[in-house]
Structure 1
């Protein structure tokens, strides 16, 4: 290393520090990366770059850099703290707790400076939070909200079992617009994945223990979630152990980047491609991205960790977006089906659902305008949806064209509705033109969203319900409201054929029944001349 090298690294570091102080995390990240080219074993640079990634909510990249910093300097308290923060963002609370302990242990035990005392208090507080999270998970491990243990006596109530039973009649009547096709396809993918996982074994050989199993389980499970995430269910109490074993097995065989973030993948994949070719890179990219998707879905639905789920979805989307651009002239056969636009579309649709959940829980952190922008991006990507195909492509068409479109419109509707409610609350419950316009936009978006789903899908009547109540707050006419309620009433028997006993229907059945009761009230008001068909009314009429 020449004598000028350290000063060059210091220059980039100083520029990075200045940008970081201004919260320009992307710019600072680039400067620290440049500095590392000249001083690749500097723990401060890795730790500082980790801080940038934390500022960008890129927890995997932050974890990689902070880990590197602690490996170079095990006594670097701030690096341990940043590693712990990254692990908290990834919902890896056990690893976060251990990192907080290491951070505390790295601080002096006596004669602490005011800054060190502040660090100690912060690390102690964060360690307590991590411990509390671990205790909460342990207490709820057998009764997670999204955990569904399927037992044999329940099978006749399961939507995919009901779908399988009615598919012959749907085919005979040439009824292709049905959620039965979608849930049946997703179920087949899920079952193939679970079956493959159960074939995994560890056998003792002359050379020691070896893993034996069938590849493809992670692809099947991720396909099932992307096709229709409602198929996610657990029929074996050992599911988590089976999945972890399978993921480790497939990741090892493919040499997937399980410990890297998207930055690491983007740096290493081209190098491996040059050295080993697509036969080595294609499966590694597939397992990496699909593993992120499954992890994101599990963190959201079972662990209720929005932040971690969004991180893994973002990692998957970032790598797919980069790969599509970097290898734009490479065929899908070479680079892999993972780069098909439909895969990214499915991931973005799942991410939207998680983002909406985050917005419900913390609108300050996940603002409505971010929701709308993400939904608009997905709609722009969809463009003009192709005409409805015939079987056997109908399930694919619904999963990756109509359903994402419906998801995007419903997200827009939710954001407009929440904006209207917030403004109305600030206005003491009163209405203004701006508020009623937001209610109207929400109602029409929900109606558009409903139209993207088959009438026998449970989402169809629910979005009609949402549209009905939003429009009622926007001075709707009885004629329009009755048309919504007629559509809702017509859909319920169709929905029940497949989804009657699903948890969602059990939850919102009472709300739909109240809607139908309000139809009677509305009709009575018309019959008794209290209202006319084209009167403008507002709930309660």
Structure 2
């Protein structure tokens, strides 16, 4: 059996070779046989080294845990504070990172620095300067983002228009009632229930100048339920939304005792231990609250700060924790382990996750991100399909839409996006990729009700790829154009004000309608037949 020193040396060699995953394993083995009491500084180095591995693996929450452990074992270890600050920077926690960059500098010798220590000092000072600048930037940046448009036009928001339509949808058959009005209305109701609870929070001053909070727990559950039913329900009700939300989180932490400072690895270990020691009534709300706060953190970072890399980290960690614990508790009834372990809840997270991956690709188009997007999209399509095939429950099209069809539709759309990108990267096989993109974009559209803005939006994406493929007969092209025209009329009744409308959706669809008229005129004039294949240059 290898000694701790041998395992550390092996880990160092693997790290130097950039084999971070295997290096992580070696450091983990060394940590497991280490002795905190006998050699705290040696163990601190192992934790800091493993933190460096996890930084490179983009496991920032786990890196934070390891680096914090290293600073506790050796409070005079500058590299531990530096790695903690680096991980905090990666997650946009600049207030925390400035403190830790300063602690890293304070831990260096004051005089007679070695060349290596001088290099460290320069790196830590640069990190502190950058983090401090980000703190100032965040304070001076107004709260805007993809959801800001949803505050405007009170009374004409999708949820308002949907509510007015619902009486007319009462009494229809299940399939006929598959309307986006039901889904956005339900999502809005859930979200606003959470907002109402946040608004009840009061802060009382007590003896000694400290504060005591009074309020209603459960707001985070309602907010995340609304967002996962339909993320377009997410909006900022006033300029104090984030401040109220942060206070609500503090209140609910005192109720549920979650693992806010833990990365997924530690959260899993402590959840299993708490279940054994304290039972389901303790662990169930703690796990649920932990993953829901991660979801909210991801949504806020993606929507406000366009930090999709941070959003990916939090969505992925929520999925990792739930999948691991679900496997451990697979035979436990839902009422005991909690609804967050249901497949529908996981689909809701995956839906948001793949959107952040796509947005990350738009900002940083790399082959690695595109591959991950396609992999995760395929996984979601497959898992939803399996769940639909095996389910024996009566069909509720509202819940089916939110937690099965919408997620799968988004996954199909992401597949279409991947194929379109590949068409641009592979000129020799562009037509084939455009054909594949068109096919899955139609599947994406069909996953949404005809009165959802995404139905004509994805049909229009399918049309664009059909034209670029130059291999679809006019009868198919015109049929898709007709579907766009008819669904756009229905969708605008609900979605005239939305993020997509702000991006020019309705103008785009109107131009498609004009192009359909032009094609039908040319067809009537004999310039084409229904078997003709047309390209984008003719429109």
TM-score range, shorter chain: over 0.9
Paired residue secondary structure (1:378):
helix
Aligned residues: 526
Q: Residue in 2 aligned with 1:496? A: 492
Question: 8 Å contact 1:149–1:233 — kept in the other structure?
Answer: yes
Partner of 2:31: 36
Residue 112 of structure 1 deviates from its aligned partner by 4.3
User: 1:332-481 to 2 correspondence within 5 Å?
Assistant: 332-364=334-366, 366-384=368-386, 386=388, 393-424=396-427, 432=428, 434-475=429-470, 476-481=472-477
- Give distance in 2, aligned partners of 1:412 and 1:149: 28
- Distance change >3 Å, CA 334–CA 391, structure 1 → 2: closer
Corresponding residue number in structure 2 for 1:100: 101
Q: Paired residue for 2:307?
A: 305
The alpha-carbon deviation at position 55 of structure 1 amounts to 1.8
Equivalents in 2 of 1:331, 1:158: separation in Å?
A: 39
CA distance in 1, matches of 2:424, 2:385: 30
* 1:318-374 superposed Cα distances (whole Å, 9 cap, x missing partner): 000001101111111111111111111110110000000011111227432221111
For structure 1, which segment, 62-71 or 37-46, has the greater mean C-alpha deviation from structure 2 after superposition? 37-46
Look up the match of 1:428.
none
| Alpha-carbon distance in structure 1 between the residues aligned to 2:148 and 2:111 | 47
CA contact (8 A) 2:147 2:499 kept: no
Aligned to 2:148, the other structure's residue is in SS state coil
Structure 1 CA distance, aligned partners of 2:511 and 2:386?
Answer: 37
Counterpart contact for 1:83–1:96, Cα < 8 Å:
yes
Q: Which residue of 1 aligns with 2:164?
A: 165
Once residues 204 and 104 of structure 1 are traced to their aligned partners in structure 2, the CA distance between those partners, rounded to angstroms, is: 37
Greater alpha carbon shift after TM alignment, 296-305 vs 200-209: 200-209
Aligned residue for 1:427? none
Task: Give 1:159 shift.
Answer: 0.5
Q: Measure how far apart 1:91 and its partner are.
A: 1.2
Change (3 A) 1:283 1:384: closer
Q: CA deviation at 1:399?
A: 0.6
CA distance in 2, matches of 1:389, 1:421: 43
Query: Hey, what's the Cα distance between the residues in 2 that align with 1:217 and 1:371?
Result: 31
Residues 192-271 of structure 1 correspond to what in structure 2 (within 5 A)?
192-204=193-205, 209-271=211-273
Q: Using the TM superposition, name which of 504-513 and 484-493 deviates more.
A: 504-513
- Tell me if the contact between 1:176 and 1:390 (Cα under 8 Å) persists in the aligned partners: no
Contact 1:368 1:419 in 2 (8 A): no
Question: What is the CA–CA distance in structure 2 between the aligned matches of 1:480 and 1:112, rounded to whole Å?
Answer: 74
Q: 1:217 to 1:460 in 2, by over 3 A?
A: same
Q: Give the alignment partner of residue 513 of structure 1, picking from 502, 510, 515.
A: 510
1:14 Cα deviation from its structure 2 partner: 2.0
User: Following the alignment from structure 2 to structure 1, what is the Cα–Cα distance between the partners of residues 110 and 524?
Assistant: 82
Report the Cα distance in structure 2 between the residues aligned to 1:259 and 1:168, rounded to whole angstroms: 46
Matches within 5 A, 1:42-61: 42-61=43-62
The answer on whether the counterparts of 1:478 and 1:537 sit within 8 Å (CA) in structure 2 is yes
Query: What is the DSSP-based 3-state SS (H/G/I as helix, E as strand, rest coil) of the residue aligned with 1:295?
Result: helix
1:15 Cα deviation from its structure 2 partner: 2.6
- Deviations for 1:468-503, whole angstroms, at most 9, x for unmatched residues? 111111013221111111000001111111111223
TM-score (norm 2): 0.92
How far apart, CA to CA, are the structure 2 residues paired with 1:191 and 1:473? 43
Point out the more displaced range, 53-62 or 502-511: 502-511
Q: Indicate the residue corresponding to 2:3 in structure 1.
A: 8
Structure 1's 189 and 32: CA in aligned 2 closer, same or farther, altered over 3 A? same
SS of the aligned residue for 2:155 comes to helix
Shift of 1:231: 0.2
Structure 1 regions of 5+ residues with no counterpart?
425-431
1:168-193 deviation digits (Å, cap 9, x = unpaired) = 10114443110011101111111111
Whether the 8 Å contact between 1:149 and 1:235 is mirrored in structure 2 is: no
Whole-Å separation in 1 of the counterparts to 2:393 and 2:523: 43
1:302, distance to aligned residue in structure 2 (A): 1.0
* Further displaced range: 29-38 or 198-207: 198-207
8 Å contact from structure 1 (residues 265, 319) kept in 2 = yes
Partner of 1:429: none
CA shift, 1:211, in A, is 2.4
Distance in 1 between residues matched to 2:398 and 2:130, nearest whole Å: 44
The counterpart of 1:24, out of the listed 10, 19, 23, is 19
The match for 1:76 is 77
8 Å CA contact retained: 1:355, 1:366: no
Unaligned runs of 5+ in 2: none
Q: Which residue of 2 aligns with 1:191?
A: 192
The whole-number CA distance in structure 2 between the counterparts of 1:312 and 1:214 is 25
**The residue matched to 1:202 in structure 2 has which SS?**
strand
How high is the TM-score relative to the length of structure 1? 0.92
